[in-house]
Chain A
């Protein structure tokens, strides 16, 4: 069965530290990959997505992610985090031909001011 794994469940960083959140998926076909963010008490918002072309994608708020097909990975990065980045981050993968997202378990990021 297809799955999405986020290995870091909780991450605590100080402001200005660099961030990398891991995401691996198990699916042999063509995939579309997404990172969503859920700020405390708010709805899920799209940070960035990849479905073709340049494997390094840039999203909102200074986030970027790199698709490495050989490693089945789509890690999220940000060079310098801010306190306002405190949130839960979900990696997700498209399955089938439609938009049925499978989410990873989420990573809860806390940024200390």
Chain B
């Protein structure tokens, strides 16, 4: 079982809704990530948090808003999404630094209608 927990596992939202995806890890990792994975495609990096500070934003549209309230939690706030944003959203964590293993959660399946 993964030690990165994501909720909800499935989410269906309308284009005018506001929702949030949540992620939690208790491995003491100080790097946390959001990835997006479309069907039959590899994961694509969206955001990286290092020591609770946003360090990387891979030109993600502002309708996705990440938040890291503390070292164990990572949220992804969603607003005014488009149907093409439907995907599996993966949270991950790792110790900070090159060469460390990144641990992935099971993901949240998002459908925008």
Interface residues of A (CB under 8 A from B): 32, 34, 36, 42-46, 49, 51-52, 90, 94, 97-106, 108
Contacts and interface: CB of A to CB of B under 8 A. Distances in A.
Given A43-B106, A43-B107, A44-B90, A98 B101 contact: no
25 contacts: A32-B99, A42-B106, A43-B90, A43-B104, A43-B105, A43-B107, A46-B102, A49-B99, A90-B43, A98-B56, A98-B96, A98-B97, A99-B31, A99-B33, A99-B94, A99-B96, A99-B98, A100-B45, A100-B56, A101-B43, A101-B45, A102-B45, A103-B44, A105-B41, A106-B40
Contacts, number: 65
In this complex, the member of A42, A46, A100, A108 whose beta carbon has the largest number of chain B beta carbons within 10 angstroms is A100
